[in-house]
């Protein structure tokens, strides 16, 4: 397994989502990203787990958090989670496999990449700022 091409491919796929203004593989705090720089998307590696069975190649599970920041600005008529829902739908669509293909493999770099787990959200109900943390799981055989 070569990790860097997998992360580069995942970032390329997600940073190309229409409407994303700022994207990085280096997580920034929500306070450091101005409203004009949002929607913003950041990849943050969380963990890597190796699973080994005698006689079989090592299987890896890499967990990555995708942080999404959106800001409705000063327009109080805007529903805070509207922009967030658009970006979350686009992340889901970007990680769907191509038609006729069973799983998303990032062009054959991994066995599967998918959203898996609880998507944590704070849709800005108490202010202008919204955040979501999307759990992405990557399965790789060595």
Distance CA 92, CA 95 (A): 5
Domains and CATH numbers, the chain: 3-141 (3.30.2000.30)
pTM: 0.91
Tokens of 45: 């590696």
The residue ranking higher by pLDDT, 3 or 123, is 3
- At residue 53, the pLDDT reads 86
Q: Is-contact 41 66, C-beta < 8 A? A: yes
| pLDDT tens column, 27-84 | 999 999 999 999 999 999 999 999 988 888 889 999 999 999 999 877 777 777 888 9
Distance CA 22, CA 42 (A): 8
Q: Which of 21-30, 34-43, 96-105, 130-139 has the lowest mean pLDDT?
A: 96-105
User: Whose structure tokens read 């108490």?
Assistant: 126
**Residues 124-134, mean pLDDT to the nearest whole number:** 83
Tell me the percentage of the chain whose pLDDT exceeds 90: 73
Give 36's contacts (C-beta < 8 A, 6+ positions apart). Answer: 21
- At residue 9, the pLDDT reads 97
Asked if residue 116 has pLDDT above 80, the reply is yes
Distance CA 77, CA 58 (A): 52
């Amino acid at each position: 397994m070569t990790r860097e091409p997998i992360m580069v491919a995942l970032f390329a796929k997600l940073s190309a989502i229409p409407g994303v203004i700022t994207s990085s593989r280096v997580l920034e705090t929500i306070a450091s990203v101005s409203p004009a720089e949002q929607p913003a998307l950041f990849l943050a590696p969380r963990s890597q787990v190796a699973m080994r069975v005698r006689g079989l190649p090592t299987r890896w599970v890499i967990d990555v958090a995708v942080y999404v920041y959106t800001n409705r600005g000063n327009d109080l008529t805007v529903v805070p989670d509207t922009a967030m829902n658009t970006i979350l739908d686009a992340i889901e669509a970007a990680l769907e496999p191509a038609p006729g293909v069973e799983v998303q493999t990032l062009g054959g770099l991994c066995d599967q990449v998918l959203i898996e787990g609880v998507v944590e959200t704070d849709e800005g109900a108490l202010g202008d700022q919204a955040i979501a943390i999307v759990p992405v799981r990557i399965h790789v055989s060595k």
